[in-house]
Structures are given as structure tokens and as C-alpha cells.
Structure 1
Amino acid sequence: MNHDGMNNPFDRPVWASLASAPHLAEGGPLARRYRRDVNLFASARDDEDGACLAALGALVQPGESVFVLQVPPIALPPGLQALRRAQGVQMLAVRPVAPEAGADEVLELGDADAAEMLALAQLTEPGPFLPRTHAMGRFLGIRVSGRLAAMAGERMRFAGGTEVSGVCVHPDFRGRGLARRLSSLVAHAAQQRGDQPFLHAWVTNRAAIALYESLGFEVRTEVQVAVLGR
């Protein structure tokens, strides 16, 4: 199987996304990582090429860690160790996702909302989220009495694919269907411009997987996730 990253971008979504957004990335043709205020994801172009793995290792400073997410087994760059390994699933929208309606106004979030977005993500832990993660794509939110109650947005993006991510709801506002509604809006907008919506969930998170299945997503494959540090 060809794992050079050019075969199927969904197998190496981090590499495909970094290669498509050089303004958000550091590194070069062999390995890239997101800028340190944007996200923690990093990827080699090809795990079977020692030069690519060495280049990935060189992007991680002492005391730092990066997230690797891909379908192929994760190879360790020289000098790095796996601080944590886990399995997730990658899901694709396999039918049109209907934009769900609701009483609350949906707002487009941006720089002015960045501090609140980061605080909500740190509280609910939807995955790596840093001060500039919102620069990766379009994020939507719902405010209740002025408070940011829920958000969802676009994270990894490449030609033909948009990842639905950063989906989180403040504990005070759970049970209202806000995550479902925002996820449906992000996925629907991606489909409207011709992209394939995809997302990732921990393999153990049955509630999230069931929610996305009800919206029209299906599990495509398992993905390997590792936190690598020096």
C-alpha cells in the first residue's frame, strides 16, 4: 500500500491539511507541523522514508509534544517517544446532512471570540485547541444570555475534504441538541461547496459516534493517534 500521503488524503489528513495551508504550518517538503499557537498536529510526508521521519523529529523541541493522527501505523522519529497512544475512528458523511433548525441564533465566531473559544475547549476537551485554532477554518457558535454555550467548526481542510471539529457544549447548556445542530450546519456548509465532511472520534466514545451516525456519517476506518515527545 502506498503511504506517501499522495494516495488518499483521508489516510493522512494531517499531512494533507498542512500541505494545503502553508500559512499555518512550519517545516518543509518532508515534514510539517502547525504553528505552535494554531494546533499540536504534525506529520511526516512518508513514514517509510528515514529522511521524512528525521525531519519530523527535528520539528519537536525538548519539552514539547505533538499529535500524530493517521490510518497507517505510526512510526517513531529518531529521538522521540510515544507519550500516549490511542485509537480513533474516522467518519465520513455518506448522505446529505440536513442543517438542523433551532431557536438560538447561530453566530460566526472569530478573533474577538478567541479567548472564550479557548476557555470552552479547555473545559470540555474536544481535542487539541490552542489560541489560534479558530484560524484553521470557519467556526460557528451559540450564545445564551451572552455566554458562549456551544461551538463547532472546521479544522483540517484539503482539496475535497473538510473536518468537522472543535464540537463542544458548556456543561450548563447540555441536553439542548446544540452540538448536533452546530455539527449539522458545519457539515452541510462543507457539502454545499462540494467538500466531503469528515470527523474523528475516540473509538471508545460511543455517544459521539452514535450522534454522528444519526446525522449521516459512517465509520470509514480506524485511525492511529499518538502524542510524541522528545
Structure 2
Amino acid sequence: MPDASVPLLNRIVWSALTTRQRKFVKGGPLARRFDPAVSPFASTKDNSGEALEALAQLIAPGEDHVYLLQADEIELPDTLAAETTATGVLMTETRPIADKMTPAEIVRLTSADIPEMVALATLTKPGPFTSRTPELGPFWGVKADGRLTAMAGTRLNLTGYTELSGICCHPDFRGQGLASVLSCHVASHIRSQGDIPFLHAYADNHGAIALYRKLGFDIWREVNVAVVKRAG
């Protein structure tokens, strides 16, 4: 498990946007956000006044918003306001679990699957998901009679670490362990690339945290979450 002081993980969105996912960047040296068509996540380099004001300039007045996700405390200038705040946990894989399904049962999803992926994510709400979210990394799914029943993939990608994300299952197919087997499959793929798998969950989602522990993940530390807009 990474040491709790690992700077790379303290501002994990910043780390992604300054390493492997730079091609999605909007912003500069003090504050950055993903292209909003791809992902709503954003981050500042630190909590300096200059960085926070730079973040404010990246958010358009009105309905535009960003998600902040970091272990460091979230501070906001007067020009920004948090619509919602929450406490989450960042979990890293410490005990790899072997795949529980044969490769033939899990399929790599393609651009042709995006409408179904968006529909499934809209129904089950695993986290922010748009038609361009799959550009962040590969997704896999399980289908029944040609219908997408469950999926999981990768999202944040930084030096040495890749996030397991978008884990969801259609209500009609719950109870079959599909989310678990897909999570194991994606984690195995991440390890094969030489990275440590990690994921996020809300701190009060005890059921999800218990499941992820069974899949070999442990809590690295709590993280702060906020949905932020321009004030006024």
C-alpha cells in the first residue's frame, strides 16, 4: 500500500492531468480541468490564492461546474461555491485477486457500445459519465442476448497508478456477481500494464467498501469531494 504521504495521490486529478492525461487538459500551470465533454474533474496545483483564482477562471458562470477530488483539504475563494461536499475514500489494491470469469464471458467494449454504456451509467449512477468518458481508458462488459448488463473500466491514469471506475450493473442482473468479476478483470488488466489499481468510494457506502476489501483493496486514506460552481 502506498505511504499516506505520497504526493502523487494527494491531488490525484492534478497528477493525472500533469502526467498521462495531459491531452485532455484545459488550463495552465496553476489549475487544470479535463475537457468537460470528457470528464468534470478539475484540480489546482495547491491551495494558494493564485491557483484558486486560476481555477475560478476555468469555470464559466452559470451551470458549468467541476468536481474536486483530493486528499488535501479543499479551500475555495469567494469567487467559487460548493454545491455539494462529501467525504470519500481512495482504495488501492494490496492483495491481487485472480479473474473469476473466462475471457470469453467478458467483452472489450467499443464505440458501438457507447449508447448502451451511457444508458447504463445514467440508470445506475456509478459516477460522472458522458459519451466521451471511454476516451479516458478501456471498458469491458458482460452481455446477455446482446444487451449490456454490466460494465467496468478505467478513468484516472497517472504515473504508476490507474483507476478502476464506472463499475455498474443493470438492476435486472444484480446478484450474479457481475460487478465483482468485471472489477477483478479490469484490475488484472491494470496490473498487466505495470500499474497499481485504485478506486474511489463514498466513505458512507459501507457495502461497496466491504466488497472492494474482498476484492483485494484497502483504504489508503479519506479524500474530500466537492461539486463546485462560480459563486453568484
TM-score (norm 2): 0.93
Q: Does 1:14 align with 2:13?
A: yes
Distance change in 2, residues 1:7/1:77 (3 Å): farther
The AA in structure 2 aligned to 1:22 is R
Partner residue, 1:166: 166
Q: Superposed, which structure 2 residues align to 1:128-207 within 5 Å?
A: 128-207=128-207
**1:92 Cα shift?**
0.6
Deviations 1:158-216 (A, max 9, x none): 01000000000011111111000000011111112221111000111111111110011
Instruction: Please give the per-residue CA displacement for 1:61-98, whole angstroms capped at 9, x wherever unaligned.
Output: 11211100000110113411010000011101012231
- Cα distance, 1:110 vs. partner? 2.4
The alpha-carbon deviation at position 138 of structure 1 amounts to 1.1
Distance 2:112 2:77 in 1: 38
Q: Which piece of structure 1 moves more, 199-208 or 97-106?
A: 97-106
Point out where structure 2 has 5 or more consecutive residues left out of the alignment.
none
Residue 3 of structure 1 is matched in structure 2 by none
Aligned-residue Cα RMSD (Å) equals 1.5
Identity in percent: 47
Code of the aligned partner of 1:210: A
Q: Which runs of 5+ in 1 are unaligned?
A: 1-5
- Indicate the residue corresponding to 2:219 in structure 1: 219
- Secondary structure of the 1:10 match is helix
Structure 2 counterpart of 1:65, one-letter code: H
Cα 1:129/1:77, change in 2 over 3 Å: farther
Aligned partners of 1:100, 1:55: CA distance in 2, in Å? 46
CA distance in 1 between partners of 2:173 and 2:13 (Å)? 31
188-197 or 118-127, larger mean C-alpha shift = 188-197
Inter-CA distance 173–114: structure 2 relative to 1 (3 Å threshold): same
C-alpha distance after superposition, 1:33-77 (max 9, x if no partner):
111110110000111x21111111111111211100000110113
Contact 1:162/1:197, CA 8 A, preserved across alignment = yes
1:131, distance to aligned residue in structure 2 (A): 1.5
2-structure distance, mates of 1:68, 1:189: 27
- Aligned residues, how many? 224
Q: Contact 1:140/1:153 (CA < 8 Å) preserved in 2?
A: yes
Relative to structure 1, is the Cα distance of residues 218 and 7 closer, same or farther in structure 2, using a 3 angstrom cutoff?
Answer: closer
| Partner Cα distance (1:212, 1:98) in 2 | 14
Q: Distance in 2 between matches of 1:24 and 1:159?
A: 16
**Residue 12 of structure 1: CA displacement?**
0.9
Residue of structure 1 equivalent to 2:50: 51
